[in-house]
Amino acid sequence: MTRAGSEGPVTRLVIVGGGSAGWMTAAAVSRLTDAGVTVTLVESDEIGTVGVGEATIPSLHDFNAALGIDEDAFVAATQGTFKLGIEFTDWGRVGDRYIHPFGKYGRSVLGLNFHQIWLRQHLLGGREADPGRIDDYAISIAAARRGRFAKPSTNPGAVLSGLNYAYHFDAGLYARFLRNHAGARGVVRIEGKIARVEQTPLDGYITAVVLEDGRRIEGDFFVDCSGFRALLLGEALGVPYRSWQHWLPCDSAIALPSASAAPAVPYTRSTAGSAGWRWRIPLQHRVGNGHVFSSAHVDPDAALERLLDGLDAPAIGDPRLLRFTAGRREKLWEKNCVAIGLAGGFIEPLESTSIHLIQSGIFRLMALFPDRGFSRIEINEYNRWLVEEYEHIRDFIILHYHATARGDSDFWNHCRTMDVPDSLAARIALWREKGRIFRAHNSLFTEESWIAVLLGQNVVPRAADPLAAALPIGETIRFLNHMRDIVARTAEAMPRHEDYIAQHCAAQPVPAQ
């Protein structure tokens, strides 16, 4: 089950492409240089990076911590801000608004999940005290709405222990930050465009990449971070791409920065339109904006006009149009090449999962780092793990489009009525019965994430868990009132987001152009 005639360790690792994927990979594998591995990254300044999104999810903590990166230095270097969740506007119905929080709702009682306690009270309707919105019981949402931020508490009994956070940052500055980190640890950067890929004639393994000026970079193992082109895995090794566009019809994005009109809020905003959605990501020095849309339902000029109409402040750059097809490669690792980032697949930036998939691929690669035998068993395990993760994320993203009552455009009529993957249909059906949701193995998104979107987009179960009925109504009402009150008071006492940044991780001002 290993490559015949190849023995010994990998001693030459070549990363093709820079950007977030390339430099995150380089930073992570830089420690291999201590073991005698030569790590080379090939990129060209003439080839731009995509940089569609500048928002992340909490798992980035683990990546930065593994590299020993100081959080305050990282946030300051990348013009970063903090992110407590994502606000979704006009998704379930026009006029709806909810936040998908990073963190918990309330707290469990006697082993019963909090949302079941809230749901039982909600379904009682006018017969008993109204519990309000489930948003009122999440400290991450309460803080986000008030523009507040603090670190989570390590005391499991404290309300702040239910808070989690991620970051907004400039993706180009993050790549530069990691480039310096990797370079200081022995990673060699080579500037140049790749003209061709050399492979062995018998089994097709990659042996070298050759630059336009004739330089030849040999390697034992190659990491494809070349973006949508997938120069190695797609073009050279011929691994096909599996499209998910029938479920995720958005295939274009326009990105456009703007000035900051107000202090940065600690959340990303996603506003649904008639043929897609617009993002708003506040940084310290500017705001990142974009419009993700289906070109079958709106043309780029009209999409840009809608983006411009929704800006809070004047644009400070030129718009960039990006084309993509949601999906993934059939395999993420083939022969002696693994694809990280867009070369392996792209779902879309709705839940800020692109950087997570980069780091997940890197962590799994480090756990299964090969020798020159390239064990088929280990490669299959890598592919199984990453394919599962892509598909779990795919289902969660599809949920946002499908769980809607909107019928005001052909785009939303398609999304509302389309068939969805069986795995997603089963989850929705189980939820509709008694509000039950279980985190799948190897799934990025927690139960709270699914609860936030399902309830936020008006998918209300017909009943609550029967065990919730065992709780006395009076005690339940008092418990909910107390929980809602302490969440609100805790959020009010937190520092303002802009004050926290000013005290801990303010970036240097950007020079005037």
Q: Do 288 and 315 contact (CB within 8 A), yes or no?
A: no
Q: Do 296 and 249 contact (CB within 8 A), yes or no?
A: yes
Cβ-based neighbour number of residue 489 at 10 Å: 11
Instruction: State how far the Cα of 440 lies from the Cα of 389, in Å rounded to an integer.
Output: 10
Q: 377, exposed or middle or buried, with CB in 10 Å at 0-12, 13-18, 19+? A: exposed
| Residue 393: φ, ψ to 5° | -65, -45
CA proximity to 295, closest of 259, 249, 261 = 249
CA proximity to 341, closest of 328, 357, 329 = 357
Structure tokens at 143: 């803080």
Instruction: State how far the Cα of 220 lies from the Cα of 226, in Å rounded to an integer.
Output: 18
Instruction: State how far the Cα of 436 lies from the Cα of 64, in Å rounded to an integer.
Output: 34
Half-sphere exposure in the Cβ direction for 246 (13 Å, CA): 6
Instruction: State how far the Cα of 390 lies from the Cα of 357, in Å rounded to an integer.
Output: 8
Q: Do 239 and 30 contact (CB within 8 A), yes or no?
A: no
How would you label 401-420 residue by residue, b for 16+ Cβ within 10 Å and e otherwise?
bbbbebeeeebbebbeeeeb
Neighbour order of strands in the sheet with 241-243: 241-243, 327-329, 345-346
83 is catalytic: yes
Structure tokens at 6: 């190849």
Instruction: State how far the Cα of 123 lies from the Cα of 133, in Å rounded to an integer.
Output: 12
Instruction: State how far the Cα of 285 lies from the Cα of 268, in Å rounded to an integer.
Output: 16
Catalytic residue among 83, 104, 331, 335: 83
Neighbour order of strands in the sheet with 216-218: 194-199, 206-211, 216-218
The structure tokens 């956070």 sit at 165
Instruction: State how far the Cα of 255 lies from the Cα of 253, in Å rounded to an integer.
Output: 6
CA proximity to 24, closest of 9, 37, 41 = 41
- Looking at this protein, which amino acid is placed at residue 348? E
Residues 6+ apart with CB under 8 A from 39: 13, 15, 26, 29, 30, 32, 33, 182, 186, 187, 188
**Catalytic site positions:** 83
